[in-house]
Amino acid sequence: MAANSLDPASAVLLEVRGVAKRFGTREVLRNISLTIAEGEFLTLLGESGSGKTTLLRLVAGFEEPTAGEIWMSGVRLDLLPPYQRRVNTVFQNYALFPHLSVRENVAYGLRVKKTAATEIDGRVDEALRMVKMQEFAASRPSKLSGGQQQRVALARALVNRPLLLLLDEPLSALDANLRKQMQSELKALQREMGITFLFVTHDQEEAMALSDRIALMRDGALEQVATAREIYAHPATAYTARFIGQTNLLRGEILDGMARCGAIEWPSDDPGGAAIFSLRPEAIRLASDAVALPGTARFRAALQQQFFSGASELLEVNCSGQLLRVRISARGPLSGEHEFVFSTADAVRVQE
């Protein structure tokens, strides 16, 4: 399975068709349509209250859609109770059964489905080995650290061989280092097992690091659905550009084949009128570092702040009253006025 591009030949696993969800008068989801391919790692990314967890709960079956349908492998999913869906969930707080040992927790799904005892043993062992928790098989969840509980929750879901695994902010309770480590383990696990992941997070870095595609949600609607690279390079809206990574939003207009944003201007053959451009900080360079190429724009700006962060540093510069962020590779303290350049192709026109 190709990791970063959506293979058009791969079959659609899940299809969300025009789904809406209302709690009382509060509209939580509006007309969501989304497909997930088999083996894909798709992330629902959004701020809290954007509806991403509600969408996940609709797929799991904990909530019913107010309108629309959800299909999985030719089966109408939204009409089935959760226990009849071949979908398993890794909950945000893990939701391990406190009265059962690690082994019994992992065996739970197989037990309730009356799987043969010998098969249960084998599959539970395999699942525990997969998440490196064999030695804790007899422990109670309360004796485990957050990361260990996380692993057990994963094993408990995966042992059932779901067609689709739902993960509700599974890493948000872990500290930064453990989080990075679990991210890489999750990714490896997903590749290895070829199970489709639907992952919910509010952390855009996590979404970019893990996902084949990101579905960015905003106020109960899908803002943009694309691969991480696509969404970063070509954000459709100003919201997306700001939410995914850092950016400079240049507001101005296009007139007579020239884009003008404050004191910065460059030739543009886009249709005229008011325009917003997203220009990533790393797309801007110091003119002294760059070779003059066609298709570049230049501007002079005064340095206001400089933040050193190891391999790179972030400059805040003032170009005739317009504040811009510039990320350059680390090069020592700077001051005064400098000339900056960027490739006009990197100034991406976005919707409001």
Partner 1 sequence: MYSNAYKKLVSLPPLLWVGLFLLLPYALMLAHSFWAVRDGMLVRQPDLHNYVTLFSKPVYAAVLVRTMRIAAAVTLCSLLLGYPLAYYLSFHAGAPKELLYQLVIVPLWVSYLVRGYAWKTILGSEGVLNGFFEYLHLTHEPVAFLLYSPFAVVVMLTHIYTPFVFLPIYAALEHIPRTLVEASEDLGAGAAQTFLRVILPLSIPGLLAGATFAFVLSLGDFLAPLLVGGASSTMIANVVQSLFGAAYDRPLGSAISVGLVIITVSLLVLSERLEKRWRYQ
Beta carbon of residue 123, minimum distance to partner 1 (angstroms, whole number): 13
Site map 123..142 versus partner 1, x via CB under 8 A:
-----------------x-x
| Cβ nearer to partner 1, comparing 157 with 244 | 157
Query: Looking at 90-98, 169-177, 224-232, 303-311, which segment touches partner 1 (CB under 8 A)?
Result: 90-98
For the bound state, the minimum distance from the C-beta of residue 120 to partner 1, rounded and expressed in Å, comes to 13
Order of all β-strands in the sheet with 221-227: 87-90, 164-168, 196-201, 41-46, 213-218, 221-227
Smaller CB separation from partner 1, 120 or 214: 120
Residue of 36, 28, 82 lying closest to 55 (CA atoms): 28
SS3 per-residue string spanning the chain = CCCCCCCCCCCEEEEEEEEEEEECCEEEEEEEEEEEECCCEEEEEECCCCCHHHHHHHHHCCCCCCEEEEEECCEEHHHCCHHHCCEEEECCCCCCCCCCCHHHHHHHHHHHCCCCHHHHHHHHHHHHHHCCCHHHCCCCHHHCCHHHHHHHHHHHHHCCCCCEEEEECCCCCCCHHHHHHHHHHHHHHHHHHCCEEEEEECCHHHHHHHCCEEEEEECCEEEEEEEHHHHHHCCCEHHHHHHCCCCEEEEEEEECCEEEECCEEEECCCCCEEEEEEECHHHEEEHHHCCCCCCEEEEEEEEEEEEECCCEEEEEEEECCEEEEEEEECCCCCCCEEEEEEEHHHCEEEEC
Position 83 contacts partner 1 (CB under 8 A)? yes
Among the listed residues 61, 170, 245, 281, the single contact to partner 1 using CB under 8 A: 61
Among 20, 95, 314, 348, binds partner 1 (CB under 8 A): 95
Cβ 106 to partner 1, closest distance in Å?
Answer: 10
> Which among 24-32, 35-43, 71-79, 88-96 is the span making contact with partner 1, rule CB under 8 A?
88-96
Instruction: Report residue 242 as tokens.
Output: 């700001």
Q: Pick the binder of partner 1 from 4, 5, 31, 93 (CB under 8 A).
A: 93
**CA–CA separation, 92 vs 213, rounded Å?**
21
Give the nearest distance from C-beta 91 to partner 1 in angstroms. Answer: 5
Q: Give the chain's largest Cα–Cα span.
A: 76
> Which residue, 93 or 320, has its beta carbon nearer to partner 1?
93
Among residue numbers 157 through 186, which ones bind partner 1 (CB under 8 A)?
Answer: 157, 160
**Binding partner 1 by CB under 8 A: which of 49, 68, 82, 252?**
82
Q: How far is the CB of 119 from partner 1 (least distance, A)?
A: 15
Query: What's the min distance (Å) between Cβ of 271 and partner 1?
Result: 50
Shorter beta-carbon distance to partner 1: residue 64 or 270: 64
Q: What minimum distance in Å lies between the beta carbon of 154 and partner 1? A: 13
CB of 82 to partner 1, least distance (A): 4
Residue 81 interacts with partner 1 (CB under 8 A): yes or no: yes
Task: Determine if 25 is a binding residue for partner 1 (CB under 8 A).
Answer: no
Region 197-236 residues binding partner 1, contact defined as CB under 8 A: none
Q: In the complex, which residues of this chain contact partner 1 (CB under 8 A)? A: 60-62, 81-84, 87-89, 91, 93, 95-99, 108-109, 111-113, 140, 142, 156-157, 160
